[in-house]
Amino acid sequence: MEQYKKDFIEFMIDCQVLKFGDFVTKSGRKTPFFVNTGFYRTGAQLRRLGEYYAQAIKETFGVEFDVLFGPAYKGIPLSVTASMALSEKYGADIRYCSNRKEVKDHGDKGILLGGPVGDGDKVVIIEDVTTAGTSIGETLPILQAQGNVNILGLVVSVDRMERGQGEKSALNEISEKYGLKTCAIVTMKEVIEHLYNRPYKGKVIIDDTLMAAINAYYEQYGAK
């Protein structure tokens, strides 16, 4: 596993974005881990988050594209910080763009904020965590309405590796249904591999008991 992935896992723990325990998801599933990206709250945290995204984007898509699109609302700061990191780390001056939930009828009218999107633009979509493919189904028509755009794919921070609508993971379903390349900074498999029975700051995050709960969860909800 690349060092930046290990660093990102520990960064999520430090920010309290990644937690282990007993949680219930929106869909009612009981889960032994929870990823809440709302806990990225400071400028320093967002700067580092953008750097991790930028590295994953470069490895998967390169930097020869035009627009980094972050769907409202959580995708807005992600597109901003990652586009800044792509500029600072790799010299790639890529436009950031997001949609508005409500169309603006004055000033800079329209549904988009940030850079424009139009014919011929190569676009990468950036999101936080994808557990189901509903969001991408709402995002693609917005982009396609702007012209003949080339949507390269989707990047997320964590692939939870859970089933989507069928037996495959949500990211794999998105890839197959829409023909998009998808990637994550880390997968939960990588998170578990890095933390299992390994002390971090004097504490073992995933011990044998928690590992058993995680295995049981994936036995029931994991992607095939």
From 30, 104, 177, 189, the catalytic residue: 104
Check residue 137 and give its pLDDT: 86
If one counts every other C-beta atom within 10 angstroms of the C-beta of residue 184, the result is 23
Check residue 87 and give its pLDDT: 99
Rounded CA-CA distance 208/32 in Å is 13
Domains of the chain: 3-221 (3.40.50.2020)
Give me the tens of pLDDT residue by residue for the chain, a chain 224 residues long: 999 999 999 999 999 999 999 998 777 889 999 999 999 999 999 999 999 999 999 999 999 999 999 999 899 999 999 999 999 999 999 999 999 876 655 555 578 999 999 999 999 999 998 756 667 888 999 999 999 999 999 999 999 998 877 888 888 999 999 999 999 999 999 999 999 999 999 999 999 999 999 999 999 999 88
**Annotation marks residue 106 as catalytic:** yes
Task: Label residue 107 left, alpha or beta by phi (over 0 means left) and psi (-120 to 50 means alpha).
Answer: left
**Annotation marks residue 194 as catalytic:** no
From 26, 101, 106, 203, the catalytic residue: 106
Helix (H, G, I), strand (E, B) or coil at 70: coil
Q: Is the pTM of this model over 0.95?
A: no
Rounded CA-CA distance 160/189 in Å is 8
Nearby residues of 57 by Cβ (< 8 Å), 6 or more positions away: 63, 68, 82, 86, 124, 126, 155, 183
Check residue 79 and give its pLDDT: 98
Nearby residues of 2 by Cβ (< 8 Å), 6 or more positions away: none
